[in-house]
Each structure stands twice: as structure tokens, then as C-alpha cells.
A = this chain, B = another copy of it.
Amino acid sequence: MTSPHPSNANPPSTASSSPRSPEERSGDATRERILDAAENVFAKQGFHGTSLRDLAEAAGVTRSLIHHHFGSKEGLWIAVADRLFETYRAWQSSILREGAFGIEGFEESIRQFFLFLESSPNFVRLRAWTNAAQSAETPHRDLALLGVDRLRELQACGEIRSDIDPASALIGLFNLVEHWFQARTTLENRLGETLPGNHEFLEDLVRILIRGIRPCDGET
């Protein structure tokens, strides 16, 4: 954003903490309000299932204002996706970089990723929409490949069985956790009370995956 006067970058009214103030004329606050509302609506209805009028009503603003701040419906969608994905990227990066090494680090990654998705239903649903549309999406090759490298190191140390591709293990981890939340509604319909709770499933999943990728006794 090009600002003609960057020297004085104070918030306009210092004590505007009241959330429902009708004199909220701050562009930044309005942007945030639109983003928050759009995130919920887009996550629920997808891009094509959502109209600009839906978004304007949810945010309590006029259509023109959305266009003023985000240029177009697609611009708003991208802004929503970028914000959600940036949160995710930061999370994943911290998991991969500061996570403990060894097989315990792998287990911890599963739990962390599970808890993150559990706390971000909008992210899960937006991912489901982009999955269905098979949209290009930002690559993040670096982080994914970093994860594969981590597993490859573990494999070299004999912590992971040698007869599987580390990429398969990584994909399995991410797919299992992500699809658990994406398919939860469908699974509830099909399994009813037989469906495990979130934490029960997480523990079973960790048990299965950890034993599944470890070498057998005496195996290198």
C-alpha cells in the first residue's frame, strides 16, 4: 500500500477500543471486519456459492466498500486465503524447525498438526474447497521438502524402516490428519456413535503410524 504520509503512522483515534462504535471509520479496522466475516462465509459456502451480497451483509458493510478495499470478489477470496495460509505456514515452519529430533519429533509433529487443524476449522474448510477445485495454490515446496528431508535423516539413522519412501510417510501423516477434519461430517453420518472422539482418534492414529514406520526388531 502506498501511503503519501508514512511519517505519522499512528492509529487515528487512540481509545477506539469499543467494538461496536458507529464512528469506526478506520480503513484498517473495516478491512479486518470484512476479512473476518468473509472467512466464515467463504469457508462455509465456497467461492462460487457465495455472493458479494452475502459477504457484504455478513460484514455489515455495502458491496461498494468491499470492492473499494479488495478490488473484486476474487481479491477478497485471495486475501482471506492468504491470511489463513500465512498462519498455517508459520505454524508448520515452527513445528519443522524447532521440533525435537528423532521419532519423538515425528510424533510431536502429528499432535501439533492435529491440534492446529482442530483450532482452525475455517482453514480446514477452505483447504477442502481448494482441494475440490484443484486450484493451483501457493506451493510451499520448501517446507514440504524440508519435512521429507527430516524423515530421510531419520531413515538413515535407522529410526524408520528402510522399505518405505519417506515422502509416503509424510503424505500419510498430513493426509490422515487433514482428511479427518474434512470428512468428519460425512463420517458422523456413516458411523454415528461408533465414531471415535477427536482425542481418541488422534491417539490411535499416533499408535498406528509410529509402529507402522518403525523398523522391526533386528531390522536396519
Chain A residues in the interface with B (C-beta under 8 A): 45-49, 125, 128-134, 136-137, 139-141, 144-145, 148, 161, 163-165, 167-169, 171-172, 175-176, 178-180, 182-183, 185-187, 189-192, 194-196, 200-201, 204-205, 207-213, 216-217
**Residue among B132, B175, B204 making CB contact with A175, cutoff 8 Å:** B175
Closest to A183 in B: B131
Whether A140 contacts B196 by the Cβ 8 Å rule is: no
Copies in the complex: 2
11 inter-chain pairs at a CB distance below 8 angstroms, sorted by A residue, are A45-B48, A46-B132, A46-B133, A48-B49, A125-B132, A132-B182, A134-B186, A141-B191, A161-B207, A168-B205, A179-B179
Q: Most chain-B Cβ atoms within 10 A of its Cβ — which of A145, A190, A205?
A: A190
Whether A208 contacts B213 by the Cβ 8 Å rule is: yes
